[in-house]
Amino acid sequence: MHEMALSSAVAATVEKHAKGRPVKVVNLTIGKLRQVVPDSLLFYFDIVTRDTLMQGAQLKIEIVPARLHCTGCGERWEPDFPTFRCPACVTGVVEVLSGEEFQVESIEVEEDEVCTAPK
Ligand SMILES: [Zn+2]
């Protein structure tokens, strides 16, 4: 259900910025440490945006690699899974350089359509 909640959060953010315009594309940045399953996110996004201005919008997901830094020995590495123990000195305090992002970077909306209605 993790992705369901995230999809709702994304939809709420996009809706706010779309200001009533139909949304075509949503560009999303997700850090690897978030452990989001993109396919699952796409699946739920389709559900939560059904019958809204975002229906059928394309969700483009960019995954940011996780990068950690040990403040004890200066080691930097990219973990394949969330582990916060320095592989070099083990005892150092580890800080996250990247990988915790979860952000709607931008959206693309339908431009105002030419009004064809009779005046
Ligand atoms: Zn270390």
pLDDT at 115 over 60: no
7, 13, 17, 51, 98 from 22: Cα distances, Å: 18, 14, 11, 11, 32
5 Cα: distance to centroid of ligand 1 (angstroms): 35
The domains located in the chain, with CATH, are 2-109 (3.30.2320.80)
CA of 89 to the centre of ligand 1 (A): 4
pLDDT digits (tens, 9 = 90+) for 51-94: 999 999 999 999 999 999 999 999 999 987 777 899 999 999 99
Distance 6 CA to ligand 1 centre (A): 33
Ramachandran category for residue 100: left, alpha or beta (phi over 0 → left; psi -120 to 50 → alpha)? alpha
Q: What is the pLDDT of residues 36-52, one digit of tens each?
A: 999 999 999 999 999 99
**pTM as predicted:** 0.81
Distance 72 CA to ligand 1 centre (A): 5
Joined tokens for residue 89: 């000195």
Query: Ligand 1 centre and the CA of 110: distance in Å?
Result: 50
